[in-house]
Structure 1
Amino acid sequence: MTTTAIHVRGLEKSYKDLHVLRGVDFEVASGTIFALLGSNGAGKTTIVKILSTLLKADAGSAAVEGFDVVGEARQVRESISLTGQFAAVDEILTGKENLVLVARLRHARNPGHVAEDLLAQFDLVDAGSRRVATYSGGMRRRLDIAMSLIGDPKVIFLDEPTTGLDPEARLEVWKIVKKLANQGTTVLLTTQYLDEAEQLADRIAILHSGRIIANGTLAELKGLLPPAKIEYVEKQPSLEDIFLALVGNKASVGDRASAGSRESVEDMS
């Protein structure tokens, strides 16, 4: 039986005369990836802040794991973890020291063991003894997400987790997000990247001008468009195909182009 991890009804929020949220409704099933897709300023981060008890809505209601975000804020915080747009890591400390610090704050029984397990899980063992100031953007983001897993939260909020990352680092983060969902963690992901939502999400909600204007699976959203006229042309590799092929990424979608395949393109006219 499918359970609901996040329940949002009629959420509204204004900053003086600026109406950011104008009655937002959606639900997120447990153990799924839900993408909140929208341009800058659409209100994605505001929703995340309300759901993580960092901000109070002007109207409406929201619950996480059955707990009201206002009346039961403590229980909500015990159930969630939040990774913001910028990695919240201490650059002076090493990777392992960052993990140990959070593990102690979360009252983990064996902080050192927890840190070592996460370093291995996120392929950071070799970098664990180095100061985070020496890490690349992708490594910092992996460490940031690893820190958010301490305490086994049931729900994780990822607010634009791949902003500023190179294509290879983005793919690494995508693999981590998929693995979290496969392990039963509920993930609410905000993004402005169409391909990110397409690759990761079980359901996608499009937020525009403070309202959800569409909400469904990728197939359901594609069904909103009229039938397309199909023409066949030879596919040219994209810049991402070229980049991943040159850096030796075996999972590159450029492999399809190198096989000389022909793919269909849609002409909406």
Structure 2
Amino acid sequence: MKAVAAVNIQKIYGNGTVALEEVSLEVERGTITGLIGPNGAGKSTLINILTTAIDMTSGHASVYGYDVVRERKQVRAVIGVCGQEREIDFTLSVYDNLRFFAGLYGLDNPNGVVKDYLAQFELEYIARRSPMQISGGELRCIQFIRAIMHTPPVLFIDEPTTGLDPVKSELVLEQLIRLKERGVAILFSTHEMNQAQKVCDIVCFLQSSRILYAGTPEEIIRENCLLEQVEIEYEGTLPAQVLKTLSDNYEVERIQPLIISMQRAEQFIDEAAKSILSVSGLKIIDIRIHRPNLDLAFKKIARRKHSTNNRSLA
């Protein structure tokens, strides 16, 4: 049984807007799946459907074996959700908010669990404050703690690190990895490609209401034929003959600084770069290698889709 299974999900709003079209995906237990894509691609809509917050127009979806339409109560009992809405009781302190949910979840030693999570996120100092007296980033951490404190079998998170500083963002990612190691199935949306590449087992790229690509970060990078880049900072003028030699053998992206795309950047540096440039009399200041990453793949897929749409309209 898949922890999450969605088949041909379609969502059309009353005004005719198509939010999702024939979206299918699966999430295994003990894995992290990331939803990436531009604003309006349908990431939040998909999460809202899978967490029973809204209905789909057509298709089928189940969470932990429970149908998200017919068995809403059972679905809600096995999930943790951290959405973008600020769902918190502003009449209670931060501590009492978390303590309430710890009791609702039936946790052993609920007070200890709350104190432990506040300590892990270095938030003990806001425990007795009203939610109205804390920052947006602190509130986001509290919402995240509330979603994970009972170690739900399935966890849904919409933009988990929005508004967080780098330290808190790293703490959130560490928690996701720990939950994964404990067998939790995690589905989260993000705009942070480096985070998706770091923690996701599977990445689904949504655009124009559809999943265009799904696979490991490495597969998506490889299938989009992304090359390594060598960036060479130099002083002087690049001779035309040297530029021609480089252009005949590699993809020259830029001249100053010199940026060249290729399959094996380190081999190029060892065998060609220094010898070619040294004979030109240039003074090399620095040489850097840029590896292909998910962010570059995302941009390439988005550009290709945009180009295809423009051609279809012509």
Worse overlay, 155-164 or 92-101:
92-101
Q: Report the secondary structure of 1:81's partner residue.
A: strand
Against the structure 1 CA distance between its residues 266 and 92, is the aligned structure 2 distance closer, same or farther, given a 3 Å change threshold? same
SS of equivalent to 2:124: coil
Paired residues, number: 241
Between the two structures, name the one with larger relative contact order (CA 8 Å, sep ≥ 6). Answer: 1
Superposition pairs of residues 61-140 of structure 1, within 5 angstroms: 61-108=60-107, 110-140=109-139
Indicate whether 1:15 and 2:13 are aligned.
Answer: yes
Mark the runs of 5 or more structure 2 residues left unpaired by the alignment.
Answer: 234-284, 297-314
> Within 5 Å, which residues of 2 pair with 1:190-201?
190-201=189-200
User: Structure 1-normalised TM-score?
Assistant: 0.80
Counterpart contact for 2:203–2:215, Cα < 8 Å: yes
Instruction: After TM superposition, give the deviation of residue 230 of structure 1 in Å.
Output: 4.4
Between stretches 114-123 and 44-53, larger displacement belongs to 114-123
Residue 117 to residue 10, structure 1, CA distance change in 2 (3 Å) = same
**Bigger Rg over Cα:** 2
Q: 1:152 is matched by which residue type in structure 2?
A: T
Which residue of structure 2 aligns with residue 173 of structure 1? 172
- The match for 2:25 is 26
Kept in 2: contact 1:138–1:170 (CA 8 A): no
- C-alpha separation in 1, matches of 2:44 and 2:220: 23
- Secondary structure of 1:226's aligned partner: coil
Q: Offset of 1:227 from its aligned partner?
A: 5.6
TM-score (normalised: structure 2): 0.69
Deviations 1:137-186 (A, max 9, x none): 33222211111124331111100122233333322322222222223221
* Contact kept in structure 2, 1:30 and 1:185, CA below 8 Å: yes
Aligned-residue RMSD, C-alpha: 2.5
CA distance in structure 2 between the aligned counterparts of 1:265 and 1:109, rounded to whole angstroms: 49
Shift of 1:87: 4.0
- Supply the distance in 1 between the matched residues of 2:89 and 2:218 (Cα, whole angstroms): 41
> How far does the alpha carbon of each residue in 1:164-217 deviate from its partner, in whole angstroms, 9 at most, with x for none?
333333223222222222232211111122222112211100011111100000
Distance 1:168 1:87, change over 3 A: farther
